[in-house]
Amino acid sequence: MKELIIKGEYEEGALQQAKNCLKDAEHFLLMADNHKGYGMPIGGVAVYKDKISPAGVGFDIACGNKAVKLDIKYEDIKDSLSDLADSIFSILSFGVGLSNDEKVEHPLFDDTAWNINFHRNNPEIKNIAQKQLGTIGSGNHYVDIFKDEEDFVWIGVHFGSRGLGHKTASHFMQLAGNNLNIMDEKPHLLDINTVEGQEYITAMNLAGRYAYAGRDWVCLRVAKILQGNITKEVHNHHNFAWLENHNGVDYWVVRKGATPAFPGQEGFVGGSMGDNAVIVKGIDGEESKNLFYSTVHGAGRVMSRTQAAGKFKGWGDKRKRVSEGLVNFDEVKSMLIEKGIHLRGGGADEAPQVYKRLNEVLDYHKDTIKILHTLTPLVVCMAGNEFDPYKD
């Protein structure tokens, strides 16, 4: 029996997309951070038998979060936070289509997955991926510095597989029958027992390993800037498809903007540039099972980028604002300064008022996760207010 489960309040556009997906899915679940996405809502979980949805996974394959705890405390860095923010923002690559200024060697590029037809027919993708490994991109992707309840310093990062994921997704979405302008189109599926389905799974997993490698590198590089050693890691995808067994049945579980939360599994969930983040752990129970052991990936938007920042035309240096948005970003920056948060980059489309409050979102999931740590932001580094083709 098909089932739609909704946690918390829902956005009407997200609900309609969920119902659209449920036409083909066995089950569909909306997390409390839900909002409208491309074909499938963000904060959505679609459960399929023998099928997989490239559009459900989305353009930013393996977008995810990583948090690491360091062996240094707030006291060690509190007087140099501004300089550290400057260093992180200048050394790492924030923005669209950038290459990493530091060449990153990784065994990933010797992986046999590069031999599938898709990559053999598009050899330039591997070259782009090599140049972009360790870049953060734009949109809602970030590198943050936090402190926990005991004043230990944490690094938190959020980004995905960059151009590799976007080009992979675009190819297989079209192969499945979707247009790339998929906002209100039902995500089409690939049968996992076909050559195309198996190629997508191989390419998706490669993009997943690539995203993991990028987040690993960034966390290590920032730890070096902070002169600290990593003592704990929490790492999750939230745009991905997993083959999982639930109640004795094998399913392909597509999570788009949703974090796996199996019993004992830890996850890092961010809020906004002015809000706390958390480390959570999945707990067992009937509700957890009903949600296919899934939880939120963030706070969830309540305002579109255009509503927040206004309308723009053009690209790069020629990009100009043609209408005002609802958010006064100068006031946002003043508020962050008052809270002691050192912001580099960012824009009105990522302001705190664009998001729900994370604690309210998490409260809807209190019976499925346990909060282990609350992380207070000290430094937030993001790209500026620019168009991001690698859609999250």
Contact status, residue 166 vs residue 60, Cβ threshold 8 Å? yes
**287 class by beta-carbon count within 10 Å (0-12 exposed, 13-18 middle, 19+ buried):** middle
What's the length of the chain? Answer: 392
Question: What per-residue confidence (pLDDT) applies to 191?
Answer: 98
Contact status, residue 384 vs residue 346, Cβ threshold 8 Å? yes
- Residue ranges covered by each domain of the chain: 3-384
> What CATH number was assigned to the domain covering residues 3-384?
3.90.1860.10
Backbone angles phi, psi at 208, to 5 degrees: -65, -45
3-state secondary structure of 232: strand
Instruction: List per-residue pLDDT tens for the chain, 392 residues long.
Output: 789 999 999 999 999 999 999 999 999 999 999 999 999 999 999 999 999 999 999 999 999 999 999 999 999 999 999 999 999 999 999 988 899 999 999 999 999 999 999 999 999 999 999 999 999 999 899 999 999 999 999 999 999 999 999 999 999 999 999 988 888 899 999 999 999 999 999 999 999 999 999 999 999 999 999 999 999 999 999 999 999 999 999 999 999 999 999 999 999 999 999 999 999 999 999 999 999 999 999 999 999 888 998 887 776 666 677 788 999 999 999 999 999 999 999 999 999 999 999 999 999 999 999 999 999 999 999 997 555 544 44
CA distance 222 to 92: 9
Question: Quick one: tokens of 10?
Answer: 């829902």
Question: What per-residue confidence (pLDDT) applies to 317?
Answer: 66
In angstroms and rounded to an integer, the radius of gyration of the C-alpha atoms of the chain is 20
CA distance 368 to 363: 10
3-state secondary structure of 8: coil
Specify whether the backbone of 58 is left (phi greater than 0), alpha (psi in -120 to 50) or beta: left
- Alpha-carbon torsion angle 267, 53, 188, 109, nearest 10: 110
Q: Which amino acid is at 163?
A: G
CA distance 270 to 256: 15
> Whole-model pTM?
0.94
Q: E strands of the chain, at which residues? A: 3-6, 27-35, 42-48, 51-52, 64-73, 142-147, 152-159, 190-191, 230-237, 239-246, 249-256, 258-260, 266-269, 277-282, 294-296, 310-313, 320-324, 342-346, 369-384
